[in-house]
Structure formats: C-alpha cells, structure tokens
C-alpha cells in the first residue's frame, strides 16, 4: 500500500487513516518525515502525549502529567525498557539511515465514560494481548482526562506502539502491514473482538 504523501494536519505528527465504522477510534503512523513536513522523533512524539499542554524537554528527566500512564512490554524485553524515556531513546539509538516507521498511534475515545478506572484497566489488558504478546510490541499508554483542564473533549487513551518488534537483543522486524493504513481495520477488528469476548461496552 502506498504511503500517504500529504502532510499531517496542524497540531498532529501523523496523518489519521480515514474510514471505519467506529468514530471513537483514531489510527495513524508517526513517520520520520511525511513529504516536506517536519522531522519527527520517538521521544518528542511520546512525551507530548505523556505531558499534554506542556512544552517538555525530551533531554530532561521525564515527569508525565497526563491522568494515567504506563509502559507495557513484550515478554522478551529487558526490564530497563519499562522507563519510557529509555525505551524511546533505545529505539532512536537502534535506528538506521532511511528508517521511516516510528510509532503506531492508536487512540480510543470514551464519550460516555463512567468508571474511568475500569476503562484504563480494560484498555491496558487489550494492549497486552494483541500488541505486546502477539506482535512483540512495546506500548506506552497515556490516559487523557480533558475535563481536568476545562475541556469538553471526551476522556481518551493513546496507545503508542513502537513500530518494530522488541526482542531480547533490541528492536528487530517491522510490523507491516499493521504500521500502515491497513492497520486501522486490524486495530478496529481486534478492539471490537476484545470487547465482545470480555463483555465490555463501548464508552
């Protein structure tokens, strides 16, 4: 499938993939550069979601300010990767010239949210199975609760999956076609299946 060449919309570091029947899902891939757009990095894309609304320095110690966050790892990952800053730095350290895929960005919105602690645990559990265990992806999750800053936007969780499998020796194979436009349908189907198998409701 051909990579999109149009630049990311203002304020975003990826191009959202269109289509799908669930409007609560947003999907896209953060790439090193889209067309003549800005150069992106894994640390900057992740930290902006861990600390929304703040200009955080990726070189300084990370102090996430989002409502909740976590690092979810595949079984073979080393323990030091649980630190999101170190994990993102390691991805960049093991990058090579011409690397394009940085992050698979998945967002789930909850416009009818009720028990947000349950939402958090449900999404974390989902991420562990098809993303961490089945695809060997490291995932950084960030839960945003916009009402805390007076916004009417719904609660939502960003799942940021680094776009290469994480093995014991480091980052390895790419995860195409998941890290491409086709990934949105795959993500939507897996999330819907997860909710059905675990008796969850959307929202």
For residue 187, what pLDDT is reported? 96
Residue ranges in the chain modelled with pLDDT below 50? 1-4, 202-203
- Say which CATH number the domain at 144 has: 3.30.930.30
For residue 36, what pLDDT is reported? 82
Structural domain total, the chain: 1
Q: Is residue 138 part of a domain?
A: yes
Residue 72: give the domain boundaries.
Answer: 25-196
For residue 2, what pLDDT is reported? 43
For residue 7, what pLDDT is reported? 62
Q: Is residue 189 part of a domain?
A: yes
For residue 4, what pLDDT is reported? 45
Q: Is residue 20 part of a domain?
A: no
For residue 1, what pLDDT is reported? 40
For residue 151, what pLDDT is reported? 85
Q: Is residue 17 part of a domain?
A: no
For residue 160, what pLDDT is reported? 98
For residue 72, what pLDDT is reported? 98
Task: Give kind and range of the element (H or E) at residue 141.
Answer: strand 139-144
For residue 3, what pLDDT is reported? 44
Tokens found for residue 86:
């170190």
For residue 99, what pLDDT is reported? 93
pTM given for the model = 0.92
User: What's the order of all strands across the beta sheet hosting 156-162?
Assistant: 25-31, 101-109, 156-162, 139-144, 68-72
């Amino acid at each position: 499938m051909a990579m999109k060449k149009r630049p990311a919309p203002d304020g975003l570091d990826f191009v959202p993939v269109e289509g799908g029947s669930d409007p609560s899902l947003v999907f896209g891939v953060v790439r090193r550069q889209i067309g003549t757009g800005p150069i992106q990095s894994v640390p900057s894309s992740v930290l902006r979601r861990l600390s929304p609304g703040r200009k955080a320095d990726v070189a300084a110690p990370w102090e996430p300010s989002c409502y909740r966050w976590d690092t979810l790892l595949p079984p073979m990952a080393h323990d030091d990767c649980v630190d999101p800053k170190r994990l993102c730095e390691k991805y960049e350290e093991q990058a090579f010239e011409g690397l394009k895929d940085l992050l698979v960005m998945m967002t789930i919105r909850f416009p009818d949210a009720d028990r947000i602690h349950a939402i958090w645990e449900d999404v974390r559990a989902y991420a562990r199975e098809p993303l961490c265990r089945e695809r060997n992806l490291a995932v950084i999750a960030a839960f945003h609760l916009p009402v805390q800053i007076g916004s009417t936007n719904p609660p939502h969780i960003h799942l940021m999956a680094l776009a290469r499998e994480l093995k014991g020796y480091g980052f390895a194979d790419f995860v195409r076609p998941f890290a491409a436009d086709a990934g949105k349908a795959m993500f939507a189907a897996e999330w819907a299946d997860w909710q059905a198998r675990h008796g969850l409701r959307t929202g």
